Chains A and B, each alone.
Chain A
Amino acid sequence: MCTYNTETLSLTGSAKGAVGWFHATSASVYFDHPVHHGAGHALMIDVLNRDQGASARVGLELDAHSARELAEAILRTLDAVPEGLLEH
């Protein structure tokens, strides 16, 4: 089904998509029908800059296991950053 459920968040960083590099300002996270991944549903992540138009987007479509692995890898990586390097 279309789950409708969407997490949105503000973020700071950069992303490279079809328009090249852009400043990323927000993201959407949801579990719904993918466009390209060959499954009924997928964990979807859109990294966006709404001010630069709809094409300022990097989209990810991951199966649930891959998405959890990615999320845990991000957290492990951040936890392993040497003290003093994290600005925030």
Chain B
Amino acid sequence: MTADLRAYTTELTGHGGDPIEVYAAVPEADGPHGSVVVIHHMPGFDEQTKEIVRKFAAFGYAAAMPNLYSREAPGASADDAAAAARALGGVPDPRLVGDVDAVASFLRSRPGSNGKVGVIGYCSGGRQSVLAACSLELDAAVDCYGAFVVVNPPAEHTLKVTALTEILPNLSCPMLGLFGAEDQYPSPEQTAQLAGALAAHDKSFEHHTFEGAGHAFFAVERPSYRPDAAVAGWTLIWDFFGRHLA
């Protein structure tokens, strides 16, 4: 499917009433269509992740991505903004949830929306996708190789994020997890641990671990890109969102 689309940058009111930059791509067709909040990876609000936003619109979803570093570096290039945010300690979890909530509300209220909103994130955004789905009422969530979901980072790490184990019982929607067998963050053992925890709470969690792939196998511009895993992963995403957001 390749739908005509319109992509644009706008501003929304995010967590704490702060203005946040948002990149959106929506199908030209009137709808009804489901919606997807895209959470960028730690390198930021970059061209590669904007391309993913457009890909969702091309496949018939209204998609939008908050610039999680809007506050630290308004108007800066993605790499400078990521560096500034990192130097200031990164994105606090409550702020991430508030910003995703703002974007989800924006998408849900758009003309043509069918009222259903999912979330997807890559790398650090994978963990944040789980965080959002355990904190907000959403319709589907995809975690692409998010680390530190069931284990805490090593104690010497200076940027403090914590495992999400305690809030997993609050998962509000079905979740899809896509992982690489050669990844250690998260490792296949951690993925199994996540699956076990969600099963214990009677949560729907479909997960796939691709052989021959490590971390960031979706990232087409990086040496970690694994086309077989990425193509299969995208097929699983379309099937999953098709069942839960269409």
Contact = CB atoms under 8 A, between A and B. Distances in A.
Contacts of B159: 4-6
Contacts of A5: 153-154, 156-159
Interface of A: 1-8, 26, 28, 30, 32-33, 35, 38-40, 46, 48, 50, 53-55, 57, 59
14 contacts: A1-B215, A2-B42, A2-B147, A4-B157, A5-B153, A5-B156, A7-B158, A33-B41, A33-B42, A35-B46, A40-B215, A46-B87, A50-B87, A59-B79
Most buried by B among A30, A33, A46: A33
Given A1-B147, A2-B124, A55-B76, 20 more contacts: A1-B184, A4-B148, A4-B153, A4-B161, A5-B158, A6-B159, A8-B158, A30-B86, A33-B43, A35-B79, A40-B214, A40-B224, A46-B83, A53-B73, A54-B73, A54-B76, A54-B77, A54-B83, A54-B84, A55-B77
Contacts, number: 91
Interface in B74-133: 76-84, 86-88, 90, 123-124
Given A33-B123, A40-B216, A57 B157 contact: no
Interface residues of B, number: 41
Contacts of A40: 214-216, 222-224
A19 to B, nearest CB: 10
Given A40-B222, A55-B77, A48 B185 contact: no
Interface string B145-179: 10110000110111101000000000000000000
A55 B183 CA distance: 33
B72 interface: yes
A55 B78 CA distance: 10
A5 to B, nearest CB: 4
B157 A50 contact: no
B123 A54 contact: no
A6 B157 CA distance: 7
A54 to B, nearest CB: 3
Contacts of B145: 1
A51 B156 CA distance: 28
B157 A3 contact: yes
A54 B81 contact: yes
